[in-house]
Amino acid sequence: MRYIYKWNGNYFGFVIGENLFDKHSTWIGWIENNKVWLANGYFLGEIYNDDYILKNITMVPLVPKVPHVPPVPPVPPVPPINRVGMVPVIGWEDPLENL
């Protein structure tokens, strides 16, 4: 398991296996080759620095995938302490801010 943070440093959720959950254990989507897909099959962004998800706003949108069957939600872990926010990266945005 690993924790995922928003770019502003706030804890968002966690990854177990290839599945992304929010802090309440709601299944958000899955990860394939460092790309994160929402539960509805739409592209969310890419894993960045192992702990963040960023979306390149200059790239052509990826074709949606067939949605996966949702996994059984795990018990949410004890939330970690929030981090200090990161400096913005030109051409990239934090797609977790909209979830």
From the CA atom positions of the chain, what is the Rg in Å? 13
pLDDT digits (tens, 9 = 90+) for 18-64: 999 999 999 999 999 999 999 999 999 999 999 999 999 999 999 99
pTM: 0.94
Q: Average pLDDT for residues 65-77, to the nearest whole number?
A: 96
Whole-angstrom Cα distance, residue 33 to residue 79? 26
Q: How far apart are CA 38 and CA 54, in angstroms?
A: 13
Domains contained in the chain, number: 1
Q: Is the pLDDT of residue 98 over 90?
A: no
User: What is the number of other CB atoms lying within 10 angstroms of the CB of residue 67?
Assistant: 14
Show the domain range for 80. 2-98
Residue 11: how many other CB atoms lie within 10 Å: 17
